[in-house]
Structure 1
Amino acid sequence: MSATTVNAPVPVEKGASLWRDAAYRLAKNRAATISLVVLTIIFIACLVLPFFPSLIPDPNLQELAGKNTPPSAEHIFGTDHLGRDIFSRVLYGGRITIAVGLITTSVSVTLGVLWGAIAGYVRGYVDDFMMRIVDILYALPFLVIVILLGKTIEPWTTTLTNDTVRLIVGEGASVMDENATRTWVEPITTLVPLFIAIGALSWLTVSRIVRSQVRNVASQDFVEASRSLGLGHFTILFKHILPNSLGPIIVYTTLTIPSIMLFEATLSFLGLGVKPPNSSWGILISEGADRMSANFWLLFFPSLFFATTLFALNFLGDGLRDALDPKSSKD
């Protein structure tokens, strides 16, 4: 009786998910990786340090005896014409600029994804009607509409500020506690009109991107299989189609944040953004531009933080675009 040769089982290579492949390709992109590290440092410095007053001075504290001081050990970014510490003002201003970018982009992307997904999935007359509305809004002067809409909503911000402060500190809080809370609440609540105005009109491009992606994904075989299994339209759209369209949405989001931050800086430069004595990077750049011939540091440091953040976001967006491209190779 001949011996039977038993073949050893062939090892099966474990498949990698799209997100694991994307993370691998992103890690190999040196510019995107460095940008992510830089953004993390800037975000931590601007969003965390201002909540520890013992670490940095009050950005609105005026010391006229030390005005127009160049960078030194005591004031590493120098002081302005009122003796205020520029390092502290850059961090506090960055908190507002970053908040505008993140919150407004969230509003914009949410509206755009919902609008574009419904239009691309339903198609027909609904699609035509929804996209004609987008075309009409595209034809409107964006800057003028944002300014008018912001001014219309602005009277409500005082009530919003008072209600927010009472909600945080409670009814029996002292005046000192209320004032301390108002110091960091008011800069954010006064920007709510800006959040709404920019976010309500900056979703148009993302709606077109999502519509195109949804139309492409909806024509694939797995969507037809989902329909044949009796799944509802809501489940198919939000659990099967949109998750397969997240790549372009994520990339567009990272590229939208710097554009909105730049737009907020433009409005602040024109005096239509953050109200004094609070600051944003746009206001600091505006103030520095007026005095750059005498005190260069007033313009240099805010511009450095702002430009670095914009460059890093764009490099990260480019890296994510390449990493999430299914045609890219892992090699």
Structure 2
Amino acid sequence: MAQGAVLPVETMKGPVAGRSLWAEARGRLLHNKAAVTSIVVLGLIAIACIFGPFFTGHPFDRVYSEYVKVPASLEAYPKPDQIEPNLERIGSRVRAKPENIVIGDDSLRVTLVSSSSRPIDERLLAYFERSDLFGTAQVVERLEEGRRLVVDVPIKRQYFFFGTDTNGRDLLTRTMKAGQISLAIGLLATFVAILIGVIYGATAGYLGGRVDLVMMRIVDILYSLPFIFFVIMLVVFFGRNFILMFIAVGAVEWLDMARIVRGQTLSIKRQEYVQAAEALGVETKGIIRRHVIPNTLGPVVVYMTLLVPKVILLESFLSFLGLGVQEPNTSLGVLISEGAKNIQGATWMLIYPSLTLVAILFCLNFIGDGLRDALDPKDR
């Protein structure tokens, strides 16, 4: 083509759209297989914890007195070796001896023989309905003037895939409920910590001078307070509840966030766009809100994914000590504490909550590593 020739209009393309920092970070994050897998797994765990208790068929606080510390099983309870002892127990209350027991899939037929010369009081058959194993008994045949009763009894089939605890509550449902509370405490406490830490650190770093000195000395003083002592004081004055947990943890964990944001702000406030905003007369709060805080979000997002597992571990530690979530609610720390006490006779009480906690922590750590690599300016 001759020098100076003009390209035809139809061959000229429009301006090439640039990619933002967040678009590039998202692309790098999606190429991190470990981070993407962790996001999917954590999402599935969160969905299971939120909606799973509605499909297990067991309320998280329902007590099955006949199923105390039964092992995890894929088969339905009651097992055949559980039926006859319970029939004997109910028979003693009815004042009759069970004979000719025929067990079917969903019902059984049994002959009750009176232990005295008097007929069996059929009102006492209500003990079958009060049991966790049986339904309402129906009299099929009356013999010997009511001293022998042939009875059909429905069998209540129950599934305990994770077994039950020391009170006879379904461990699968309680593990899901515990996951709800642990994730909620982790996210809420992290939100409180980030909200306080980002605002506090950005303000201290941007204002500088004596204001920065005084604000950071306050942070140093709060650092010197023992965390457990702080939580015990809150428990003594306000009692133990769910809201107190994330307030207590979040009110301590914001100190690290404040220092991180302050360090970022000290470098950001020397940038040309901040100086230009100052020259144009933009107010201090406007510069902090529109220029300083948005440019610190990269480290904040990474720290958030690392703070959530830290908060969950702190909550688990406090619940293990008895300072956390109280009955009938539960958390992974509470379940692990109960499982540790019963590890010799009921290992499933420790295994399943521990595996759930480990899976959540691994996912959050992998996501944090992926975000750190995606937002690292040296990798751009």
What TM-score comes out, normalization by structure 1 length?
Answer: 0.84
Q: Would you tell me which structure has more strand in proportion to its own residues?
A: 2
Counterpart contact for 2:52–2:173, Cα < 8 Å: no
Quick one: distance in 2 between partners of 1:140 and 1:320? 32
SS at match of 1:202: helix
> Moved runs in structure 1, 4+ residues, more than 4 A?
8-12
1:328 aligns with 2:329: no
Percent of aligned pairs with the same amino acid:
46
Higher relative contact order (CA 8 A, sep 6+): 1
Any gaps of 5 or more consecutive residues in structure 2? Answer: 75-158
Quick one: distance in 2 between partners of 1:266 and 1:3? 76
Deviations 1:67-113 (A, max 9, x none): 22222231111112222111000001111111111111111111111
Match of 1:295 in 2: 346
Seen in structure 2, the aligned counterparts of structure 1 residues 79 and 210 have a Cα distance that, compared at 3 Å, is same
State the shift of 1:272 in Å. Answer: 0.8
Report the AA paired with residue 232 of structure 1. Answer: E
1:272 aligns with 2:323: yes
The residue correspondences of 1:87-102 to structure 2 (distance < 5 A) are 87-102=172-187
Report the AA paired with residue 5 of structure 1. Answer: A
Aligned with 2:206 (options 121, 129, 145): 121
Any gaps of 5 or more consecutive residues in structure 1? Answer: 158-189
Match of 2:358 in 1: 307
SS at match of 1:195: helix
Counterpart contact for 1:119–1:211, Cα < 8 Å: yes
Counterpart contact for 1:69–1:78, Cα < 8 Å: yes
Deviations 1:241-291 (A, max 9, x none): 111110001111111111111011011111111112321100100111111
Counterpart contact for 1:67–1:80, Cα < 8 Å: yes
State the shift of 1:30 in Å. Answer: 1.0
Seen in structure 2, the aligned counterparts of structure 1 residues 38 and 320 have a Cα distance that, compared at 3 Å, is same
Match of 1:248 in 2: 299
State the shift of 1:56 in Å. Answer: 3.8
Match of 2:27 in 1: 24
What TM-score comes out, normalization by structure 2 length?
Answer: 0.73
Please, what is the CA RMSD of the aligned residues?
Answer: 1.8
SS at match of 2:378: coil
Deviations 1:287-322 (A, max 9, x none): 111111221111000000001101111111111111
Aligned with 1:261 (options 312, 320, 343): 312
Counterpart contact for 1:49–1:56, Cα < 8 Å: no
Aligned with 2:188 (options 103, 122, 135): 103
Deviations 1:186-227 (A, max 9, x none): xxxx21222222221221000000001111111111111112
Question: Greater CA deviation, 280-289 or 140-149?
Answer: 140-149
SS at match of 1:66: coil
Counterpart contact for 2:235–2:323, Cα < 8 Å: no
State the shift of 1:116 in Å. Answer: 0.4
Q: Would you tell me which structure has more helix in proportion to its own residues?
A: 1
Quick one: distance in 1 between partners of 2:243 and 2:4? 78
Aligned pairs, how many?
Answer: 292
